[in-house]
Chain A
């Protein structure tokens, strides 16, 4: 991977070229990336590969007119051409009404998001991991499919006003889908970590295979509203739509779930269960993130929901200036956790009179931003619970459910320990009600 000095030298070369071409302000970013992956299906490897690339983006302003150009050639001639092109675009563009001078020098924390074991993947070691997974699938007489990925990048940004930052990050991930030979059962499990050596492949495979075996021959139930337990993956599949709603500008423009009547927002309102906390923290031990926002603001711990109350929305640099406040120091990741001690899923099951245990959701789409109403389907493991015990697998169901209602004060019964599902850390949830509208034949 490119070093800090090498990356910043590229930024400086483009800044110099842009300045000599007439740019009055500029920001230049460089990203060097490396990706290795292996796919398997039908209990065999299918495709596997690696790719390397570099991306250089110059954004410049000439008389408050903005131009941006991106390329993937870092030769001196190409960098010069890139800078010239950005300036040319700026010269013929209208005035950028949301121009803000680029950032000056800032102090950033040292990132915790990079591991050499991920960046320098050992092909033979990966083959052994995959071999063990496929062996487990064959032993259990299920058909395994999955994806193993290791990505690493080094990114630098420099501005004409002296801001310079450089971060490295990596991410290893593994997901496994196991399907029973008779086609009536399917199980899925996934994990990710910035340090590939900390990914528990054995557990991921065992969970997927176990779910496939236990979910065979599902029985239909009538669509309707049921108590549910959502495993962390299922929560992760829904919470992304909530985190997207925290943009302050959208809320203040009256077109988000956090918009209130009269052009106000719902900050300060207890919209969620009192045990729910949602925050961002680049230094989180399990789910660290780059300690800078996309705007270049140094990221620190930022609370979005505290004790069920909406505490902060996300202010970009531009919108913060418009609203005469500071830009947000995040979010760069999302950690959802309980104020109380976490409740294990096994305890949630024991305490459930009747309801459903849900592995994950699929094809989740936002229908209505006002209530964060989503539709989607259960997939790869759905069971009926009766009197504290798992009774039988259930045919998959389509849901139509508002996330605001799902996390509302009276609907959340128990919260588990958060698990990493990058860029989220989310717990299992036990909920009083969750609404399903039809049965799916899909396995």
Chain B
């Protein structure tokens, strides 16, 4: 029954039936309808596709997705909230006379699916006059497949008490450090159950489980009115509860406590030019902003001009544009284990793959979808179509974009050793970049001096500023395989209406020469 059909009579009937309902299942079973009904889901999808075809759609695809989320939020020694949510619905995309139409409903049943098809076709027809360029899709294989990301322990089956105790211990680890004033921590688990069907015959069922632990430690000096924060450095993976159990969260929380207290009395950075070593915990974000977004083909073609912006990389630049130093190699990779953008198939059924975006410092290839690939003369999509919800229009989103490590075993000390006056930037700080991905400014959670090859004291209020091509051209040192790490961001915003994408970036530390560093503390 939909909300539109709900009546007082139904309420009374429901209410009387509920009086006897005292049985409470255990933690895992209590979650609203843990798995969708496969047959009902397929039936609704078929109804939508059949109706769209009958109404004249040359192509249609449908996503019937269920999302389960569980979040626990705490501060200091108390739990603030425990919440679970579930959302289930159907979103249909149709191509009519070369124009797209989309409709979505939370009612996953044949009649509502047919109504959505009618709405989507009506929208496409109303707008067809404005579609001066007809959409052409690159060929794709017909796929009938199931893919689940490997997890060792399903977080939705872990008892709540275990999770709460983890967060309480984490908070305690930070609070035990003298001078720490506040700790906020949160853990979020997402279970994405997706079903894709297209008029070309593809049928893909997938399950993706993500785990997002987070914390933020604050030290406030009430006498001076000063305060500093040190956020978590790791934050999200396409993994189950084993991510909570295997990563040294408590040690990091304790370290965060020591570092935030040190930060309160650290000396302000002297602005100027520095050689910098960027730790993977910060470099992943620099890659995300300066490489990930600039090599999205839809941006380069102007399709995101009104919101996220365009790109300094032009549609004709593949194979011609020098992006960085010859030691710089970057890959798009939707197969990377643990990567937040890793999947079996994208949201139009294209199998995931790995490809070079920058090879030996040259920009060589784009992030593409079936609609975008033909616009640069390519016959196949790299599989970058994604929607963040059943109700969202699928559109091009970033794969995991990762920096390849050096082939030899370059260590942190190797990178530090050739620096006379430099800074070592660790963790996520404030990031900001322009709408063509040239000019950026990034902070760090913790920044330390490097003097004559040795790490020194912490500095505060520092941020580095550069221009993407200059920054990557200045890279003269990249860590080896043993320094390579994978970090992610869970809320990459793009599009209108805004959608979020979870994406990871693997990288070793890297050294960049003669970079501008600001003191951001001076008003």
Contacts and interface: CB of A to CB of B under 8 A. Distances in A.
Contacts of A96: 79-81
Given A42-B303, A84-B24, A72 B11 contact: no
Contacts of A124: 126
Interface in B32-51: 32-33
A331 to B, nearest CB: 22
A398 B432 CA distance: 9
A74 interface: yes
Interface string B145-170: 00000000000000111001000000
B132 A44 contact: yes
Interface string B1-38: 11110111011011101111110110100111100000
A363 B434 contact: yes
Interface stretch (B235-243, B438-446, B479-487, B507-515): B438-446
Interface string B427-456: 000111111111101010000000000000
B304 to A, nearest CB: 7
Interface string A377-416: 1010000000000000000101010101100000000000
Contacts of B521: 368, 373
B131 interface: yes
B21 A54 contact: no
Interface stretch (B206-214, B219-227, B244-252): B219-227
9 contacts: A94-B164, A130-B130, A131-B129, A176-B306, A179-B302, A254-B220, A370-B227, A377-B432, A442-B312
B103 interface: yes
Contacts of A66: 81-82
A253 B159 CA distance: 33
A260 B518 CA distance: 27
B232 interface: no
B520 interface: yes
Contacts, number: 340
B86 interface: yes
A94 to B, nearest CB: 5
Interface stretch (B87-95, B324-332, B344-352, B362-370): B87-95
B147 to A, nearest CB: 25
A373 B126 contact: no
Contacts of B78: 94, 97-98
Contacts of B117: none
**Residue of B130, B303, B467 ringed by the most chain A CB atoms within 10 A:** B130
Contacts of A91: 24
Interface in B108-153: 119-120, 122-124, 126-127, 129-133
A41 B496 CA distance: 12
A108 interface: no
Contact of B24 (A32, A87, A97, A147): A87
Nearest to B100: A47
B523 A53 contact: no
B307 A147 contact: yes
B395 interface: yes
Nearest to A39: B496
Interface in A342-389: 362-371, 373, 375-377, 379
Contacts of B18: 13, 16-17, 20, 80, 83
A167 B419 CA distance: 62
Nearest to A154: B3
B306 A145 contact: yes
A423 B222 CA distance: 33
B434 A93 contact: no
B105 interface: yes
Interface in B493-510: 496-497
Interface string B260-277: 000000000000000000
Given A179-B305, A179-B310, 6 more contacts: A38-B127, A52-B104, A82-B32, A88-B24, A398-B439, A438-B439
A134 B507 CA distance: 43
Contacts of A35: 391, 497
A292 interface: no
Nearest to B434: A442
B284 interface: no
A30 interface: yes
B160 A93 contact: yes
A369 B227 contact: yes
Size category of the binding interface on chain B: 35 or more
Nearest to A86: B84
Contacts of A78: 32-33
Interface in A271-298: none
A248 B315 CA distance: 50
Interface of B: 1-4, 6-8, 10-11, 13-15, 17-22, 24-25, 27, 30-33, 78-89, 91, 99-106, 119-120, 122-124, 126-127, 129-133, 159-161, 164, 181-182, 218, 220-227, 301-307, 309-310, 312, 391-393, 395, 430-439, 441, 443, 461, 463, 465, 467, 496-497, 516, 518, 520-521, 523
Contacts of A442: 309, 312, 434-439
A259 interface: yes
A224 B13 CA distance: 70
Interface of A: 2, 5-7, 9-10, 12-13, 16-17, 20-22, 30, 32, 35, 37-55, 57, 66-85, 87-89, 91-94, 96-98, 123-124, 126-127, 130-131, 134, 143, 145-147, 149, 175-177, 179, 186, 188, 253-255, 259-263, 362-371, 373, 375-377, 379, 396, 398, 400, 402, 404-405, 437-443
B83 A69 contact: yes
Contacts of A52: 104-106
A53 B435 contact: no
Contact of A73 (B7, B106, B434): B106
B223 to A, nearest CB: 6
B343 to A, nearest CB: 21
A45 B439 contact: no
Nearest to A42: B302
A399 to B, nearest CB: 10
Given A13-B11, A50-B104, A440-B439, A73 B88 contact: yes
A437 B466 CA distance: 11
A41 to B, nearest CB: 5
Given A38-B127, A263-B222, A49 B6 contact: no
A94 B79 contact: yes
Nearest to A75: B1
A35 B142 CA distance: 32
B456 to A, nearest CB: 23
Contacts of A2: 3-4, 6
A21 B32 contact: no
Given A16-B15, A39-B496, A130-B130, A367 B430 contact: yes
A143 B302 contact: yes
B97 to A, nearest CB: 12
Nearest to B443: A367
A10 B520 contact: no
Nearest to B84: A69
Nearest to B371: A46
Given A41-B305, A84-B30, A377 B431 contact: no
B88 A72 contact: yes
A9 B21 contact: no
A254 B222 contact: yes
B7 A76 contact: no
Contacts of A375: 430, 432, 441, 463, 520
Nearest to B25: A88
Nearest to B439: A440
Given A9-B8, A85-B32, A93-B164, A46 B306 contact: no
Nearest to A41: B303
Contact of A253 (B30, B182, B224): B182
A50 B182 contact: no
A441 B14 contact: no
A30 B2 CA distance: 13
B101 A48 contact: yes
A127 B11 contact: no
